[in-house]
């Protein structure tokens, strides 16, 4: 299998590289930490390593060193498609090289062989309350896959530490193969009262997802590919990636770890902001019975802020410029459906909200993040049940966190355990 072959060659060299770095330069100081940071959600403290992606505050994400425009340009695409194979993106994240079309297709084919979902998991999903949020269902379904973990089985049989990445790779391929199908099942069960069309062996992952939820539209196939690629990774400190990494560091398998990561993604300050954001846009539209004037929108935004709430889709813990993942989706929408009313509203929000946030002077970054626009694309193509949007984020995020998890095992990273202090200790530190 292509990823296994590539990793088997790369891992010994990386292990040696890290070993030498720690041995010869392990005492190098890379940061200092303030009391404000300790109380402030550990913002900017450099304490994690990931070679899968890096977020530059002034530029945005680079996946394996490639910017979003480069990723979208360089990855191989299906014939006639505007957006690349998701399998190619996974190859890039795991291996660190832009794949050929054959290599991208090998990942896509590998996923097809692993796509079957045990019936008991589907039965369990069906037995949920109709009120269950789709993220509750997805997280539960991922946990339902846990008994199939090869990592867990091999660990309990007895496995050497330096072999642990092998079953982590197997589990990661299984999980990323099954997730789009689970997501489609949840969508069809909740909103289309019916069975999920099976995986079409002639379609790639993005197109298959569109097919499975009944949106047989070439443009939506591209939107799906774009969506999963853009949401895949955002370095290691964001809640969903960090939680997954933290849980897996105790040698929990990827099902335990990613289910926990999904629970973090379900928070409104993180992935759930995409459903909140579309809800916000639709509320504005409803309130003014149309796209409002700029003055009306400005006043609405102030009233919202003055009621103590955040504007979903704006601000970021690391970024200090418009998120390039926002820009990629915004440009796609402007190109394909410039007349759409919700898009026209989102464009006006992009104009007004940063001005208001700047005037208010609280948010360190008044610019839009990935969630400010993603729902507008989904809504345009008919996926209008916006409590489903964070599930889409989760399907994408699995690609990045599993790539990180494979490498964390490959480099035998230890259990994560930062130190906590008491307030009194911090007070004493501050007097020194």
Both structure tokens of 306: 């003055």
The number of residues in the chain equals 432
Q: Please state, as a whole number, how many other Cβ atoms lie within 10 Å of the Cβ of residue 283.
A: 12
Catalytic residues: 270, 316, 371
Q: Please state, as a whole number, how many other Cβ atoms lie within 10 Å of the Cβ of residue 172.
A: 27
- Part in contact with ligand NMX (CB under 6 A); list of ranges 10-18, 132-140, 315-323, 418-426: 315-323
Looking at the DSSP assignment, which residues form a beta bridge with residue 54? 62
Residue closest to ligand MLT when measured from CB atoms: 238
Residue nearer to ligand NMX on the CB measure, 78 or 394: 394
Both structure tokens of 160: 């050497």
Q: Does 317 bind ligand MLT (CB under 6 A)?
A: yes
Given a contact cutoff of 8 angstroms between Cβ atoms, the answer to whether 52 and 89 are in contact is: no
CA pair distance 106, 78, nearest whole angstrom: 13
Q: Does 369 bind ligand MLT (CB under 6 A)?
A: yes
Q: Does 401 bind ligand MLT (CB under 6 A)?
A: no
214: helix, strand or coil:
coil
Q: Nearest distance from residue 371's CB to ligand NMX, in Å? A: 5
- For ligand MLT, the binding residue among 11, 169, 370, 405 (CB under 6 A) is 370
Q: Mask 365-404, x = binds ligand NMX (CB under 6 A)?
A: x---xxx---------------------------------
- For ligand NMX, the binding residue among 45, 81, 159, 310 (CB under 6 A) is 310
Q: Does 282 bind ligand NMX (CB under 6 A)?
A: no
- For ligand NMX, the binding residue among 271, 292, 396, 400 (CB under 6 A) is 271
Strands 53-56 and 66-67: what pairing? unpaired
Return all residues near 324 (Cβ < 8 A) that are at least 6 apart. Answer: 59, 60, 61, 67, 68, 69
The CA angle 192-196-200, to the nearest 5 degrees, is 135
Q: Does 242 bind ligand MLT (CB under 6 A)?
A: no
Given a contact cutoff of 8 angstroms between Cβ atoms, the answer to whether 301 and 363 are in contact is: no
Both structure tokens of 55: 């977020």
Q: Nearest distance from residue 270's CB to ligand NMX, in Å? A: 4
- Part in contact with ligand NMX (CB under 6 A); list of ranges 17-25, 87-95, 269-277, 331-339: 269-277
Q: Does 273 bind ligand NMX (CB under 6 A)?
A: yes
61: helix, strand or coil:
strand
Q: What is the dihedral of CA 239, 241, 247, 249, to 10 degrees?
A: -130
- For ligand NMX, the binding residue among 315, 324, 396, 400 (CB under 6 A) is 315
Among ligand NMX, ligand MLT, none, what binds residue 342 when CB lies within 5 to 8 Å by partner kind? none
Q: Does 52 bind ligand MLT (CB under 6 A)?
A: no
Give residues in contact with ligand NMX (CB under 6 A).
269-271, 273, 305, 310-317, 362-365, 369-371
Give residues in contact with ligand MLT (CB under 6 A).
234, 238, 270, 317-318, 369-370
């Amino acid at each position: 299998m292509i990823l296994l072959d590539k990793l088997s060659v790369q891992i010994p060299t990386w292990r040696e590289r890290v070993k030498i770095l720690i041995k010869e330069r392990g005492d190098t100081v890379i940061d200092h930490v303030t009391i404000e940071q300790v109380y402030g959600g550990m913002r900017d403290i450099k304490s994690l390593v990931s070679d899968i992606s890096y977020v530059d505050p002034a530029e945005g994400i680079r996946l394996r060193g490639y910017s979003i425009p480069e990723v979208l340009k360089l990855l191989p695409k299906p014939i006639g498609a505007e957006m690349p194979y998701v399998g190619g993106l996974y190859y890039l994240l795991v291996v660190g090289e832009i794949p050929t079309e054959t290599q991208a297709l090998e990942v896509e084919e590998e996923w097809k062989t692993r796509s079957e979902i045990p019936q008991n998991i589907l039965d369990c999903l069906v037995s949920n309350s109709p009120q269950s949020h789709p993220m509750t269902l997805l997280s539960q379904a991922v946990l339902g896959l846990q008994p199939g973990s090869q990592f867990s089985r091999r660990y309990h049989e007895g496995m050497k530490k330096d072999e642990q990445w092998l079953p982590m790779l197997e589990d990661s391929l299984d999980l990323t193969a099954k997730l789009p199908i689970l997501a489609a099942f949840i969508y069809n069960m909740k909103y289309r009262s019916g069975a999920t069309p099976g995986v079409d062996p002639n379609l790639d992952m993005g197109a298959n997802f569109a097919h499975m939820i009944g949106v047989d539209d070439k443009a939506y196939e591209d939107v799906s590919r774009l969506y999963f690629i853009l949401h895949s990774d955002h370095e290691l400190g964001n809640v969903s990636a960090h939680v997954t990494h933290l849980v897996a560091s105790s040698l929990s398998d990827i099902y335990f770890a990613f289910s926990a990561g999904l629970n973090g993604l379900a928070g409104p300050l993180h992935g759930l902001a995409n459903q909140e954001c579309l809800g916000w846009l639709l509320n504005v539209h409803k309130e003014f019975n149309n796209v409002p004037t700029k003055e009306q929108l400005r006043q609405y935004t102030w009233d919202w802020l003055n009621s103590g709430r955040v504007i979903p889709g704006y601000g970021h813990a690391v970024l200090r410029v418009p998120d390039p993942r926002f820009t990629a989706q915004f440009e796609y929408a402007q190109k394909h459906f410039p007349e759409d009313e919700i898009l026209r509203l989102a464009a006006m929000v992009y104009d007004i909200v940063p001005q208001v946030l700047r005037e208010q002077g609280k948010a360190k970054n008044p610019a839009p993040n990935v969630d400010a626009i993603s729902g507008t694309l989904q809504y345009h193509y008919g996926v209008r049940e916006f409590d489903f949007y964070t599930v889409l984020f989760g399907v994408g995020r699995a690609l990045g966190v599993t790539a990180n998890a494979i490498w964390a095992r490959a480099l035998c990273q230890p259990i994560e355990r930062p130190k906590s202090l008491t307030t009194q200790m911090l007070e004493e530190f501050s007097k020194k």
